Structure 1
């Protein structure tokens, strides 16, 4: 796979994390848009665990902070590395990964179809 082909950058963070009074996931999404990142999405984690094997669930009984989101971006490696250098890594930022991906299909979106 081409070293500057499509890559996936994932930022795992707490839903309650903030930067300058804004949710961190919102800050990351807006920063990705302003930097021209090709694709970005925010995914809410329903269940999962980290190195301590503590389940982080988003169930009604789990009302404490600890709900997590993953901000994922797909673009060329160079663009994602530039974005990575803007991250503020703190205690409420979890795992950050960068990996090559193989796009195996893309149906597009109906609202992008030519009229």
Structure 2
């Protein structure tokens, strides 16, 4: 397999797991909108401890504070596609911390298949 690298932009949205958008978990709404926009990938990571603007520590170690643990929704794609997605994200985040980081992707491909070719499902990815 041959490694190929490329530049990408990583979008991260920080929220509490209890945050909602129209009675749906906020993290799920972000992932579904990223999918509908055709972005390369999105994942949700649940934290075991953290705090935000309220300065209240949320932790899974104490039963009374184990509610509303922090989550990070991470979306990676080309800079152009992530920036085009920002207006669709803007109505959801309502003052939450959102970060953008330049990153490098690494993919391993078969020698007979170039990284720019569509995958077996017909989707073009990073």
What TM bracket, shorter-length normalisation? 0.7 to 0.9
Choose the corresponding residue for 1:15, options 14, 17, 26: 17
RMSD: 2.7
Whether the aligned pair in 1 keeps the contact of 2:50 and 2:69 (CA below 8 Å) is no
Q: Which of 94, 97, 107 is residue 90 of structure 1 equivalent to?
A: 94
Equivalences for 1:8-87 in 2 at 5 Å? 8-50=10-52, 54-61=56-63, 62-64=65-67, 66-87=68-89
Q: How many pairs does the alignment contain? A: 103
TM-score (norm 1): 0.74
1:10 CA displacement = 0.2
Distance 2:17 2:79 in 1: 26
- 3-state SS of the aligned residue for 1:7? strand
Query: Measured at CA, do residues 55 and 106 of structure 1 come closer, stay the same or move farther in structure 2, by a change above 3 Å?
Result: farther
Which structure would you say has the larger Rg? 2
- Seen in structure 2, the aligned counterparts of structure 1 residues 57 and 106 have a Cα distance that, compared at 3 Å, is farther
Normalising by the residue count of structure 2, what TM-score does the alignment of the two structures yield?
Answer: 0.68
